[in-house]
Amino acid sequence: MPRLTIHDPATAPEAARPLLQGVGRKIGMVPNLMRVAAGSPAALGGYLGLAGALAGDSLPAPLRERIALAIAEADGCDYCLAAHSFIGGRLGLSPAQIAASRLGEAEDAKDAAALRFARAVLASAGRVDDAALAAVRDAGWSEAAVIEIIAHVALNLLTNSLNNVARTPVDFPPA
């Protein structure tokens, strides 16, 4: 049972309604995560703003999903595991790639370095050692990409934490 309110888009706080409507138009549904976040229109708007900005970053979309899977697994977020497994599959990730991503692994050395770095950022609250930073750079990731990986960790930590506190009911196929 959820511990925070799952808002109906029609009766959510007034400032959240247009945000929820925009999500519904964009993806054809309003996921329970957004419906929970609607309890704070500021938080929902902040999440959507950061997610929207990062959608245009330099990281390939499948890698963004792989990072989300690695962070969701580390955080134990069943909601995000289901959501990002579904989205990753739609982006062409195989079941084996999804499973590997959850462990922070990838067959491509450059992607593997990004996933290891993302998990290191999460595990150390950003206090990665010089070797972790050098490894992601040596794998070919630019400084901008390193910053974007960190931003994706933060974005996913937000959603994982919200879902774990709320016990958001999963409305995606199970991972």
- Cα gap 159→67, rounded to integer Å: 13
In a domain, 161, yes or no: yes
- 3-state SS assignment for residue 29: coil
The pLDDT-based confidence of 36 (bands split at 50, 70, 90) is very high
- In the chain, the number of structural domains is 2
pLDDT at 119: 98
pLDDT digits (tens, 9 = 90+) for 66-124: 999 999 999 999 999 999 999 999 999 999 999 999 999 999 999 999 999 999 999 99
40 and 65, same domain (yes or no): no
Predicted confidence at residue 1, as pLDDT, reads 87
Q: Which domain holds residue 27?
A: 14-54
DSSP tag of 39 = T
**Is 82 found in the same domain as 32?**
no
Mean pLDDT of the chain: 97
Same domain, 136 and 92: yes
What pLDDT was estimated at residue 46?
Answer: 98
Nearest to 83 by CA among 155, 8, 5: 155
pLDDT for residue 175: 80
| pTM, 2 dp | 0.95
Contact 132, 116 (CB under 8 A): yes
